[in-house]
């Protein structure tokens, strides 16, 4: 028979419980601190260093079985990193319902390269200005990612990653012919593995692409592929979702 062990045992249980809570709180604090630092200069340098070391995309676009047409055109999109209500975020566009293709789908601002554009970075900046009114001189370019063939086989898309500063929805002037709306999603939400999923297309050559669900609008297709690759480089410790192909 064990006597007088209630109080010591209670203290031990309580100390262990408090210890676990402290560890969980400490772990949460570390994560919060990492999110707060995602868009600082150190993160930018790390992103650029990682990007420069890649000689192939994270998602192999050859699996998509897209063969570019001989007369394909070059295009670029801007992945607009930003700060919104003090949270590191990414801005997205919803394509206008007036468009003949991909109407009502989520995308990044961008478009076809113009003959007057010096390079694809200028293409992304110009198109973003034309579509949502973002001033051409505010974006700090972080890097240029691997080209991805467009699903129509008629374009080769280059994602340009840049930081646009502190923004609000009211800052943007939308081109109604091309843009239905813009929305901003915290990077913390995008990194939550519970918000990410995938879809597999089974044809002659099956392939799997990511899908992001817990946002204002579902993010899938080429935009989801680009987003997945950006998050893997930008937040490798925080974005833990792994895309697995199941034939």
Q: Can you give the pLDDT of all 247 residues of the chain as single tens digits?
A: 434 444 443 343 344 444 444 434 434 555 667 888 999 999 999 999 998 887 655 555 555 556 777 888 999 999 999 999 999 999 999 999 787 666 679 999 999 999 999 999 999 999 999 999 999 999 999 999 999 887 667 789 999 999 999 999 999 999 999 999 999 999 999 999 899 998 887 766 677 889 998 788 999 999 999 999 999 999 999 999 998 876 6
Give the angle subtended at the CA of 122 by the CAs of 118 and 127, to the nearest 5°.
Answer: 130
Provide the phi-psi class of 221: left if phi over 0, else alpha when psi is between -120 and 50, else beta: left
Distances 77 to 13, 47, 110, 146, 161 between C-alpha atoms, Å:
55, 18, 4, 12, 8
Question: What is the predicted pLDDT for the residue at 113?
Answer: 97
HSE-up of residue 148 (Cα within 13 Å, Cβ side) = 24
CA distance 134 to 162: 12
Question: What is the predicted pLDDT for the residue at 76?
Answer: 97
Question: What is the predicted pLDDT for the residue at 58?
Answer: 53
Say whether 164 sits in a helix, a strand or coil: strand
CA distance 74 to 47: 24
CA distance 143 to 216: 27
Specify whether the CB–CB gap between 167 and 81 falls below 8 A. no
- Show Cβ contacts of residue 140 under 8 Å, excluding neighbours closer than 6 positions: 44, 162, 163, 164, 165
Written as one string, the DSSP assignment of 105-133 is -EE-SEEEPPTT-SSHHHHHHHHHHHHH-
Specify whether the CB–CB gap between 212 and 230 falls below 8 A. no
Question: What is the predicted pLDDT for the residue at 112?
Answer: 95
The pTM of the whole model exceeds 0.85: no
């Amino acid at each position: 028979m064990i006597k007088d062990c209630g109080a010591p045992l209670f203290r031990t249980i309580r100390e262990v419980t408090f210890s676990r809570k402290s560890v969980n709180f400490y772990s949460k604090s570390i994560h919060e601190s990492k999110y707060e630092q995602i868009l600082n200069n150190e993160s930018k340098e790390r992103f650029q260093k990682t990007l420069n070391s890649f000689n192939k995309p994270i998602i192999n676009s050859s699996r998509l079985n897209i063969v570019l047409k001989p007369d394909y055109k070059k295009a670029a999109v801007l992945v607009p990193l930003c700060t919104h209500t003090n949270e590191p975020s990414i801005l997205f566009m919803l394509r206008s319902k007036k468009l003949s293709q991909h109407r009502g789908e989520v995308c990044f601002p961008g478009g076809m390269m113009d003959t007057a554009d010096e390079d694809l970075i200028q293409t992304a900046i110009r198109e973003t200005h034309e579509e949502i009114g973002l001033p051409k001189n505010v974006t700090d370019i972080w890097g240029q990612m691997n080209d991805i063939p467009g699903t129509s086989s008629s374009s080769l898309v280059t994602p340009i990653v840049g930081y646009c500063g502190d923004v609000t929805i009211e800052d943007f002037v939308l081109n109604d012919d091309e843009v239905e709306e813009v929305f901003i999603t915290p990077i913390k939400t995008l990194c939550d593995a519970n918000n990410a999923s995938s879809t597999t297309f089974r044809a002659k050559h099956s392939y799997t692409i990511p899908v992001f669900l817990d946002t204002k609008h579902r993010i899938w297709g080429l935009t989801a592929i680009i987003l997945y690759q950006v998050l893997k480089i930008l937040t490798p410790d925080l974005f833990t979702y792994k895309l697995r192909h199941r034939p």
